[in-house]
Amino acid sequence: MDLLTPDSGTLFWTVLTFILLLLILKKFAWKPILKTLYDRESKIKTALYQAEQDQKDAAKLLEEQKALLEKAKKESIQIINDSKKSADASRKELIEHARTEAERLLERAKQEIDLSKDAAIQDVKQYATDIAILAAQKVVGETLSKDQHLKLVDKYVKEFIQTQ
Amino acid sequence: MAGSFQRDLLTSFLDRVQEHGEHAEQGGENISEFIMHHVQDHVIYPIHLFGVDLSITKHVLMIWIAAAILAILLPLIIRSRALAPKGPVNFIEWIIVFLKDAIIDPYLGEDGYKYAPYLLTAFFFVITLNLLGLVPMGATATGNISVTAAMALLTLFLVQFSSIRKFGFRGYIKSFVPPGLPGFVVPIIFIVEIMGMITKHFALAMRLFANMFAGHLVIFTLLGLIFLFKNILISPFPIFGILFVSLLEILIALIQAYIFTILSAVFIGAALHPQH
């Protein structure tokens, strides 16, 4: 039975027909449709990749914005705190300054008072001496020598100071 | 009624078997001749060139019909494709996408684009030949060992070619022997691997041939029963049997075309990605 014996004619024609069919279909059928399919596939792939990338970018941007907002908040708090501190400091400084100024004025006033007092005492002394001399002249008469005069003055001044 | 019908049928059957036994020579040969006449090839137009028989046979004619159908229909259908395909384009595209996703991409990966035309052509060619065999007055060219052998030879050549193209001739020879073997085993393994290669492709041819041939053998054998029994009452049984086997044949036609394509892809993929 020649059922399993390959026949050269059929073999030859099959191979020839198949190769011709392959060439025709490759040019007119497979190339265009495969191009469409692969293009579509790559398009979908790129679109998916792009979408993923965009999402990542958006998330990153959001994160950045959040961080920026946080930073701004912190900075504003910092600024408020700083201004509070500086206001405090300047207030304290002003008060201190005023106090020292007042103390200085007081001190000066005291000194002036002391000076005036000393001057007054001196005036009073002078005045008392003059009165004493005047009184002595009236009492003793005018005939006292300069020396006697001075001695007397000294004596009375001493007595006056001692009685004081 | 039914009982008498069955009894008649049984008597008839036994009579015929007895008759067949008595005239085994004559009746048996007629039937088997009838079956073989329908499943075997016939020369339509004899051609002899340079001492080689290149006759046009019935199966060669079927191959040309199939090739003509594919070469005319597929480009026409595919030319009308659009962004949102419909109708025949959608159907063809669906088949191609299926083949691409199920066969070409998994087994060939990035090389798929190069070998897709061969695999797609092989699939459509085999499936058209298979289905044409089911058309009345048609013949199953894939039920002819010459046709399937030619297809298997094409795959065999493509496998060798793909390996040589990728690894060069030295790499191609080396790919037959896995590395790291002791020297004295190498010649044995080399011969075994080459035998394995030939066996794989021989099996590819035999599988398609046997599947397509067997189906038609069963159909014509069932048909032959009517002539064997020479009784009109027996005919519904073979007819239903033939209907069932024909439906099965449609399934087998699809499955075998798919198997031929997937195995071709596996062989090419194995040649492109050896295990070392």
At B1, is the pLDDT very low, low, confident or very high (cuts 50, 70, 90)? very low
B78:A28 CB<8 A: yes
pLDDT digits (tens, 9 = 90+) for B49-87: 776 777 778 888 888 888 898 888 888 887 776 656 677
pLDDT digits (tens, 9 = 90+) for B187-214: 888 888 889 889 998 998 889 888 888 8
The backbone torsions φ and ψ at residue B231, rounded to the nearest 5 degrees and listed phi first, read: -140, 125
Q: Give the chain B residue whose CA is nearest to the CA of A2.
A: B40
Cα separations (Å) of A65 from A51, A55, B189? 21, 15, 67
CA distance linking residue B146 with residue A12, whole number of Å: 9
B150:A18 CB<8 A: yes
| Residue B124 forms contact with A (CB below 8 Å) | yes
Q: Which residues of A85-112 are buried (b: 16+ CB within 10 A; e: fewer)?
A: eeeeeeeeeeeeeeeeeeeeeeeeeeee
Res. A99: pLDDT tops 60: yes
At A51, is the pLDDT very low, low, confident or very high (cuts 50, 70, 90)? very high
Instruction: Report the residue from A8, A22, A24 with minimal CB separation from B52.
Output: A8
Put simply, whether the predicted model's pTM sits higher than 0.80 gets the answer: no
Provide, as residue numbers in chain B, all residues whose Cβ is less than 8 Å from the Cβ of A32: 78-79, 81
Give residues with Cβ within 8 angstroms of B212, minimum separation 6: B130, B133, B140, B142, B143, B148, B252, B253, B256
For chain B, the structural domain boundaries read 43-272
Which of A4, A7, A37 to mutate: most B Cβ within 10 Å? A7
Give the range among B4-13, B100-109, B117-126, B211-220 with minimum mean pLDDT.
Answer: B4-13
Question: Cβ(B225)–Cβ(B171) under 8 Å?
Answer: no
Closest-CA residue to A13 (of B43, B264, B59, B208): B59
Res. B21: pLDDT tops 60: no
H helices, E strands: number in chain B: 9, 4
Give the range among A41-45, B22-26, B122-126 with minimum mean pLDDT.
Answer: B22-26
Partners of B53 in the β-ladder: B48
At A106, is the pLDDT very low, low, confident or very high (cuts 50, 70, 90)? very high
SS3 B230: coil
Question: Cβ(B154)–Cβ(B136) under 8 Å?
Answer: no
Instruction: Report the residue from A6, A22, A33 with minimal CB separation from B121.
Output: A22
